[in-house]
Structure 1
Amino acid sequence: MSKQYHSFEEIDERLKVLNLQRLIAQESIKLQFNSTKTDLVPQQLRQGLGATFSQKGTIKSLVITFLSSKLLDFIKSKRKSRNRDLS
């Protein structure tokens, strides 16, 4: 249902609230993005995700841990095969 406004002041106040909510949401996204970048540092990847999974117990953390493990194993195998080719 739509809200009925009785004055322009009410409309202005509501617009200010909505603008602040939008700014908060943007900052939250920035914070989550930066947190994700920090968590994806290769040396900290497995350790951080293991701790996250034990603390939060989320399926998302489990999937990320599994995929990161597979990705790191893939990278290691590519490096080994490249080193064998160079020898």
Structure 2
Amino acid sequence: MKKSEFSSFNEIDQELKILRLQRQVDREQLKFHLNGLKSSVSATTILGSFKGVAKKLLLSIVVKKILKKMG
């Protein structure tokens, strides 16, 4: 709260309205960020990332086995 002294009830009401609106804005921003987080950490995204790592791992194992047989 910016002011600690008010000269009228209208000023108090005005400050309360501002604080309520700020709280609503903060709540909507939080919802927006949570939705973004949910979409970036969805099961499909995680599985897609895992597939890429699994391919690289499998490829390195195959290359090691081929090199082992050659040398």
The aligned counterpart of 1:5 is 6
- Aligned pair in 2 of structure 1 residues 46, 10: CA closer, same or farther (>3 Å)? farther
CA RMSD, aligned part only? 3.0
Structure number with the bigger relative contact order (C-alpha 8 A, sep ≥ 6) is 2
Cα distance in 2 for residues equivalent to 1:33 and 1:42 = 16
Cα distance in 2 for residues equivalent to 1:34 and 1:10 = 36
Query: Could you tell me which amino acid in structure 2 is paired with residue 31 of structure 1?
Result: F
The aligned counterpart of 1:24 is 25
Question: How much identity, in percent, do the aligned residues show?
Answer: 31
CA drift of 1:3 comes to: 1.4
Query: Could you tell me which amino acid in structure 1 is paired with residue 8 of structure 2?
Result: S
What is the 5 A alignment of 1:1-87?
Answer: 3-45=4-46
Q: Which runs of 5+ in 2 are unaligned?
A: 55-71
Q: Which runs of 5+ in 1 are unaligned?
A: 48-67, 74-87
Query: Could you tell me which amino acid in structure 1 is paired with residue 38 of structure 2?
Result: K
Structure having the higher Rg: 2
For residues 41-71 of structure 1, give each alpha carbon's deviation from its aligned partner in whole angstroms, at most 9, with x where no partner exists: 2343498xxxxxxxxxxxxxxxxxxxx97xx
